[in-house]
Amino acid sequence: MFFILLIKIIFITFINYSIVDFTFIKFFPIILPLLLSIAYLTVLERKVLAGMQRRRGPNMVGIYGLLQAIADAVKLLSKETIIPIGSNTLIFLIAPFLTYIISFMSWSVIPFDDYIVISDINLGILFLFAMSSLGVYGIIMAGWSSNSKYAFLGSLRAAAQLISYEISMGLVIMPVLTLAGSTNLSAIILGQTNIFYIIPLFPSFILFFISILAETNRVPFDLPEAESELVSGYNVEYSAIIFIFFFLAEYSNILLMSALTVILFLGGWLPIISWGILSILPGWFWFSLKLIIIVFIFIWVRGTLPRYRFDQLMSLGWKVILPSSLSLVFLTVFLYLLLI
């Protein structure tokens, strides 16, 4: 009954958003490809990691294991939902839905091509940061309500990590906003018509990529889910269908941060090569190609780097990333004022 009520509330919310140009009909074409992308991102990750470790990876379900994602989803949907004794049942059930909804709402301002965006607001980058800040509430709720020491420690780690690196990430994008002169994501892309910002702002790109690794709890910063210490972290008590929502939110955030990297530093939908037959390819093709490259680097990092200790993680964030990003802000503004 609770799940039916929650689905009704979500549906009514999407319908009511039509008054601010955020209709369910406009959002649906984004949700379905996004869900498919998340499903096959897991297959891609397992295949790439298997190749790096000289093994086959998923290869039994479908041709070359392409149906493995569907098999995993069916398996989780057929499992029993177990609610721990002593947990706060209401908050325990709300937490994954809250994390999932917030992660998917962020896609409403991502421009996939010229005029292919749900809501092209002027404060798009601030909207993304607001949504990413809210995501930590679902993690804290999950850890506290699970009545598990492992889950609670994982949620505390996640909260400290997200807050620490979000400050650095906000400072890192300031040079990009300085050059673009706007916080609108489409305007930032159009500002890279002559040169992608990754070339003049390569140090900012490196710091931003490190920050989004920490923001998405990926290796080498996967301390909130450290298997050797916390079993699975804040979602250790979740199973079956409610675990799927945490899983979807996590991989949606990976794709979202990769898309944000493409927009801020790689020119979004702008073509890499604009001559010959390549000049007629649509913008969403170039956007998708760049997105796949960044996602591959995410997986590559996971397959090569060991996990940091938590004190090393916090020291890197506060003693290295934060001062470096602040210095780059002053340097960029100084050079910009000097050259204009």
Q: Apex CA 265: angle with CA 298 and CA 161, to 5°?
A: 50
Residue with tokens 């093709």: 285
pLDDT in tens, 169-218: 889 999 999 899 888 999 999 999 989 999 999 999 999 999 999 888 88
Judged against a pLDDT cut of 80, whether residue 254 lies above it is answered with: yes
Q: Are 281 and 298 in contact (CB under 8 A)?
A: no
Written as six digits, the tokens of 300 are 């590559």
Q: Mean pLDDT throughout 117-144?
A: 86
pLDDT category of residue 153 using cuts at 50, 70 and 90: confident
- Burial bucket for residue 170 (CB in 10 Å: 0-12, 13-18, 19+): middle
How many whole angstroms separate alpha carbon 75 and alpha carbon 94? 22
Q: Mean pLDDT throughout 240-251?
A: 86
Closest CA to 188 of 114, 116, 264, 127: 264
Judged against a pLDDT cut of 80, whether residue 132 lies above it is answered with: yes
- pTM for the model stands at 0.88
pLDDT category of residue 9 using cuts at 50, 70 and 90: very low
Written as six digits, the tokens of 309 are 């200790």
Sign of CA dihedral 171, 173, 179, 182: negative
Residue with tokens 């177990």: 82
How many whole angstroms separate alpha carbon 139 and alpha carbon 234? 7
Judged against a pLDDT cut of 80, whether residue 310 lies above it is answered with: yes
How many whole angstroms separate alpha carbon 321 and alpha carbon 33? 34
Percent of the chain with pLDDT over 70: 91
pLDDT in tens, 51-88: 898 898 888 888 888 888 888 888 888 888 888 888 88
Residue 274 DSSP symbol? -
How many whole angstroms separate alpha carbon 324 and alpha carbon 171? 9
